[in-house]
Structure 1
């Protein structure tokens, strides 16, 4: 536990402090549990000092009641605060979905803190209502996988997030609705969902608060100023952010490289593509 940005944040590190630091930024309302232990160990074995942490309102970090007034900018400052708490001046940033949006915001606002960017399953800037903000592509918001989101809503509609059995089943259904053929099987998903639930103070409040927080003011128009080496990893089956989104990211971030993850949905990279993902990140 570390004091960060006026709250307490739970974090964990892997590897040697002398190695280049790498910060993992999880998705919306997601604790660090979503970054698999073995995935983190393999990154560390590749010569990185790996840092993962619980966003506020997730895991063991400070929890807030439903309706708490904090913003996506606060979430970004928490990430920077984790680096400060560890005495890390700059790090390789690896962000998934919301985490990718936070990494973009850091890269344009405090570029001296960024050694490189890896953006996974994310978009070229998100507004406070999570609507894509993509200049010149007005139809994208309407095309951002409505069918997939309907399935996700159906999977979690009416879930009592305070009830362990219901919450675990809801998390499993949500992962499956957004996943693909490589999404882990139910026993593995159940272990993850149980761990997430058991480490969380209030899943329902966390989900509501993160949705209300949004992603902060859009930064899409500032992305061309990014100078950090940037890797974009995106699943071919991601219906939450379909193909237009990573392509736009690759277009607006100078020198960035887009790598497709075949058969992957809007999800933490499953074990089947770890070799590809780890090779790309460490490269």
Structure 2
């Protein structure tokens, strides 16, 4: 458990790498999602080269649920990522962020580049992009479902809601494994010890995120993984972000939506490992 604020702790886990001195890699998950959303198969592949760290954001998983009593902004969660590195004694790491996690990684690139060896972001948008009328917003079906985040549901109803959410996030470019995502959410409920829908990040403040113009100064090698079937941040969001970054490049995972299903784990892992290997410290 990692202390990040008075009375606030985060659950974090290390998956050992091939050697004690393997380069560390921090995984930063998206909004309202436990660190368990990173598939075990992906962790195993990344651990072939790296010491892998994953964690639960505030108000998810086993971490402290305190938003109602002590509200915070999305940008505060970037500081939490640094606190996790500090807790494991890691000075610099490769960092991978998905969705909101990609937003947090962009903030780390701007404010703490000295802590990052490389960065990888996927299924995300550039800082400030949501104010750009030239870029598309999320699928209306998702927006309707998000309006139900905090509705009262029993356990079975909550699991069914989450599976439907994953179905929409997955998109139609790759097969959707309803049983697999239900099993994931059953593990998340068991891990969390609660079945209510974690929705704090949907209410967290978004001030301080309109910093897209600063991305051109980023010098840390950054890989942007494009998910062409992403219903949250569809193309051309990834291309826009890669072009905005001073050291960005784009790789597409064909058919991928806004979910790490078994079909896309291997190409995502291969892209991340190729990136971290190319820019490994001398």
Which residues of 2 match residues 10-159 of structure 1 at below 5 A?
Answer: 10-16=11-17, 17-45=20-48, 47-64=49-66, 66=68, 68-126=70-128, 132-133=130-131, 137-140=132-135, 143-150=136-143, 152-153=145-146, 156=148, 159=151
SS at match of 1:259: strand
Task: Decide whether the 8 Å contact of 1:26 with 1:95 is kept in 2.
Answer: yes
Note the 1:250-261 alignment, pairs <5 A: 250-261=242-253
- Which stretches of structure 1, 4 residues or more, deviate above 6 A after TM superposition? none
Give the drift of 1:65.
5.5
* Greater displacement, 237-246 / 209-218: 209-218
CA 1:115 to 1:148, structure 2 compared with 1: closer, same or farther past 3 Å? farther
Bigger shift: residues 55-64 or 211-220: 211-220
Q: Please state how far the C-alpha of 1:183 moved relative to its aligned partner.
A: 4.9
8 Å CA contact 1:168, 1:197 repeated in 2: no
TM-score (structure 1 length as normaliser): 0.87
**TM-score normalized by structure 2?**
0.88
Aligned positions of 1:219-238 closer than 5 A: 219-238=211-230
Distance 2:158 2:197 in 1: 13
Whole-Å Cα distance in 2 between the matches of residues 22 and 50 of structure 1? 5
Residue 162 (structure 2) aligns with: 171
Where structure 2 has 5 or more consecutive residues not aligned to the other structure, the ranges are: 275-282
Alpha-carbon distance in structure 2 between the residues aligned to 1:57 and 1:244: 31
How many residues align structurally? 269
1:275 maps to what in 2?
266
1:199 partner SS: helix
Deviates more, 1:96-105 or 1:14-23: 14-23
User: 1:15, 1:41 within 8 Å by CA — same for their partners in 2?
Assistant: no
SS at 1:132's partner residue?
helix
| 1:3 alignment counterpart | 3
